[in-house]
Amino acid sequence: MDSSQSWLQIFKNWPAGYPRTGLVVTTFQESIPFANFMIADGVLLLERDKPDAYGARKAMISLDAIAAVKLLDTFELSRFKAFGFEGPASAAK
């Protein structure tokens, strides 16, 4: 699975009740804070709560241009199972 499909699965399966906020780091070395998002056909639409330097409150980015996503809220690691993450096999014993 390529990285764009992984990002698609994470954003598509974002857990209900988990804040839809964070920071997307792009392959262009740009950090885009977001307060909400939508997805469509390989494109992520990010909504900012404050405009950027150009006055834009929305940004559309190709899923394959995402290098990382940073989540600003603190939750126990076990809550990330909803995103599809799992612990190492040795931790399950």
CATH of the domain at 33: 2.30.30
In what order do the strands lie in the sheet containing 43-47?
A: 36-40, 43-47, 58-62
33-66 pLDDT, tens digit each: 999 999 999 999 999 999 999 999 999 999 999 9
Q: What is the pTM of this model?
A: 0.84
Total domains in the fold of the chain: 1
Q: How many CA atoms lie within 13 A of 47 on its CB side?
A: 7
Contact 8, 39 (CB under 8 A): yes
Residue 91 has pLDDT above 80, yes or no: no
For residue 10 the two structure tokens come to 């994470």
pLDDT band at 90 (very low <50, low <70, confident <90, very high): low
Q: Tell me which residue range forms the domain holding 82.
A: 3-92
> SS3 of 8, please?
helix
Q: Considering the chain, what percentage of its residues have pLDDT values greater than 90?
A: 66
Give just the sign of the alpha carbon dihedral 24, 26, 31, 34. negative
Q: Kindly indicate the confidence band of residue 24, based on its pLDDT and cuts at 50, 70 and 90.
A: very high
